[in-house]
């Protein structure tokens, strides 16, 4: 019992190592952080471990772009309703829809009242002139959008990536040292064009009715159905026979009766149904239902006789099912994703002439990086081992030192596997840094306790060990303080390096350094 009590630090280290090994190699689903690929089998994974790899090691697409928009701060609109402010400002901006103008009152994320315009090609001067013309005093007008819009955009993009089944994709805000804000999207294993097609649009979906009025002219009744009006959105379907690819939907009860009234009033629902010729002959067609994504018509359709009959009789509201047809199955999939994820509050500035950038790393190049990283890690381990053996020349001192230092890497790998943190080159650099700082601290311990040759007394050992531990504790605190800003700030690759360096230092101070002290005490003293 005494031996167990004296060596509890070593036992604790062994337990943590076993837990890390379990997190690394256990079947997917048994660890809390592991999640199966979207639509995949719970019992499968890539490679022998549960580690997830970032873009550099697995290949894929990275997009980094600001959001399109301009924002006026310190706008004075008093107690006037936000909708009224938006309407007044929109009236002074040519060609800008009211949906692209947002007024916000001061709050936790927005320190002052603000008016934001997320339409393309609107300059800060144009917004300033519009506010002046509408009678609102204001402060600075700047490029960019509000924090609320950036946060909402990240949430919608994450939903789009998840709905598209792109396993391992991440979306986050990053801020440069000059205060510029960017959205960073990383999707492992996906082509650049596919990811751009998914995120390079607002994804705003609505249903309009195109019909002929009593005086013979054609007009459009806009937004008879919008994204929030659907209670259920089905999976995209291929379509069969006369039915084109489509997305089946169920309209919400609060909107079903109004929609039914719209299609009856405009003549979309009439005895015998309607035949839409919008694309071929827009000035000679029955009324049409237009499915629009970002204002562009993706499909125009009439109404079948059976559906029209249920609309006319009023029975449709009892089971308000509907299909949104598209030209092809790919469009149907995109439509379903947009409906589920919602519309982006602002568009990414990644078009021609935009500030955004996109890059693609091929999977073969990612495998090369993975192999080279492994070789680099092995070289680091061998180099450290050689230096330690040359320094001490005693296996009983050097070997536990190397094993203890490497145990920190196993702990960090297990932690990364458990929480699903993607391993990239910056994280590997953090592992190498942990090996270096760990061995450095263990050398300090060994030198301090062996400074006057062999020691037999446990009391003397503990005194020297405590002195060495104060030194490495102070060094650890310095490292944590220095790395903390990099870990907290959204600085891209530097964040992963800082996080795992800090975790390695903490694991060293709390687990591995004390355990090495117990091992060294057992090897060097008589009263064990």
CATH of the domain at 213: 3.30.1360
Counting the structural domains of the chain, the total is 3
- Shared domain check, 421 and 372: yes
Could you tell me where the beta strands, DSSP code E, fall in 413-520?
422-423
pLDDT tens-digit readout, 112-157: 999 999 988 899 999 999 999 999 999 999 999 999 999 999 999 9
Cα–Cα distances in Å, from 328 out to 289, 298, 332, 335?
A: 17, 10, 6, 11
d(CA 46, CA 67): 34
**Same domain membership, residue 176 and residue 116:** yes
Q: What share of the chain is helix, strand, coil (3-state, %, to 5)?
A: 50, 20, 35
pLDDT > 80? residue 69: yes
Reading the block at residue 80, the tokens are 């006037």
Q: Does residue 296 share a domain with residue 234?
A: yes
Given CA atoms 130, 132, 135, 137 in this order, what sign does their dihedral have? positive
Same domain, 225 and 326: yes
| Strand pairing class (114-117; 101-104) | antiparallel
Selected residue with higher pLDDT from 312 and 426: 312
Mark whether 171 and 224 lie in a shared domain.
Answer: no
Same domain (yes/no): 256, 349: no
- In sequence order, the 6+-apart residues with CB closer than 8 A to the CB of 201 are 293, 294, 344, 347
CATH number of domain containing 43:
1.20.1640.10
Which residues form the domain of 265? 205-340
Tell me: do 180 and 96 sit in the same domain. Answer: yes
Q: What is the pLDDT of residue 266?
A: 93
Task: Indicate whether 302 and 423 sit together in one domain.
Answer: no
The 10s digit of each residue's pLDDT in 196-252 is 888 888 888 889 999 999 888 999 998 899 888 888 888 888 877 777 888 898 998
Phi, psi of 98 (to 5 degrees): -65, -25
Q: CA separation (Å) from 118 to 75, 86, 277, 409?
A: 17, 12, 34, 46
In this prediction, residues 498-515 reach a mean pLDDT of 90
pTM metric for this prediction = 0.69
Residues 291 and 414 in one domain: no
154 burial type by CB count under 10 A (0-12 exposed, 13-18 middle, 19+ buried): middle
Evaluate if residue 42 carries a pLDDT over 60. Answer: no
Contact between residue 444 and residue 466 where contact means Cβ atoms under 8 Å apart: no
Q: Is the predicted pLDDT of residue 35 greater than 60, yes or no?
A: no
> Does residue 152 share a domain with residue 74?
yes
The chain-wide mean pLDDT, for the chain, equals 85
Identify whether residues 118 and 190 lie together within a single domain: yes
Same domain, 221 and 243: yes
**Rounded mean pLDDT of 311-335?**
88
């Amino acid at each position: 019992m005494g031996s167990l009590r004296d060596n509890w630090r070593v036992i604790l280290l062994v337990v943590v190592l076993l837990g890390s090994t379990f997190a690394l190699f256990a079947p997917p689903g048994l660890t809390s952080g592991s999640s199966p690929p979207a639509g995949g089998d719970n019992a499968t994974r890539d490679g022998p471990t549960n580690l997830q790899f970032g873009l550099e090691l697995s290949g894929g697409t990275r997009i980094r772009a600001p959001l399109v928009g301009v924002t006026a701060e310190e706008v004075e609109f008093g107690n006037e309703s936000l909708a009224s402010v938006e309407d007044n400002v929109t009236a002074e901006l040519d060609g800008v829809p009211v949906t692209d103008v947002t007024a916000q009152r001061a709050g936790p994320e927005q320190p002052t009242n603000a008016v934001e315009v997320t339409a393309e090609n609107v300059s800060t001067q144009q917004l300033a002139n519009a506010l002046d013309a509408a009678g609102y005093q204001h402060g600075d007008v700047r490029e960019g959008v509000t924090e609320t819009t950036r946060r909402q955009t990240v949430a919608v993009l994450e939903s789009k990536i998840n709905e598209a089944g792109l396993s391992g994709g991440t979306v986050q805000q990053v801020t440069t040292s000059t205060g510029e804000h960017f959205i960073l999207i990383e999707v492992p294993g996906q082509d650049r064009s596919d990811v751009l097609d998914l995120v390079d649009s607002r994804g705003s979906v609505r249903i309009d009715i195109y019909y002929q009025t009593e005086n013979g002219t054609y007009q459009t009744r806009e937004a008879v159905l919008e994204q929030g009006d659907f209670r259920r959105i089905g999976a995209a379907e291929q379509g069969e026979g006369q039915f084109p690819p489509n997305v089946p939907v169920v309209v919400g009860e609060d909107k079903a009766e109004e929609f039914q009234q719209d299609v009856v009033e405009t003549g979309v629902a009439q005895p015998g149904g309607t035949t839409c010729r919008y694309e071929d002959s827009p000035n000679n067609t029955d009324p049409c239902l237009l499915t629009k994504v970002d204002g562009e018509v993706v499909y125009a359709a009439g109404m079948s006789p059976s559906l029209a009959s249920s609309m006319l009789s009023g029975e449709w509201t009892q089971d308000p099912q509907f299909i949104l047809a598209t030209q092809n199955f790919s469009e149907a999939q995109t439509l379903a994703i947009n409906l589920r994820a919602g519309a982006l509050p602002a568009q990414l500035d990644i078009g021609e002439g935009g500030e955004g950038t996109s890059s693609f790393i091929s999977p073969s190049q990612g495998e090369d990086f993975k192999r080279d990283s492994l070789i680099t890690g092995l070289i680091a381990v061998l180099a450290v081992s050689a230096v330690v053996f040359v320094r001490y020349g005693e296996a009983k001192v050097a070997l536990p030192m190397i094993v203890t230092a490497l145990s920190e890497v196993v702990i960090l790998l297990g932690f990364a596997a458990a929480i699903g943190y993607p391993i990239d080159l910056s994280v590997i650099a953090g592992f190498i840094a942990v090996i270096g700082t760990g061995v450095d601290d263990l050398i300090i311990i060994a030198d301090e306790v062996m400074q006057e040759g062999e020691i037999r007394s446990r009391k003397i050992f503990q005194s020297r060990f405590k002195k060495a531990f104060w030194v490495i504790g102070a060094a650890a605190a310095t490292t944590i303080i220095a790395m903390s800003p990099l870990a907290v700030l959204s600085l891209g690759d530097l964040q992963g390096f800082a996080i795992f360096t800090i975790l390695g230092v903490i694991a060293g101070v709390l687990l591995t350094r004390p355990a090495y002290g117990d091992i060294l005490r057992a090897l060097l003293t008589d009263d064990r």
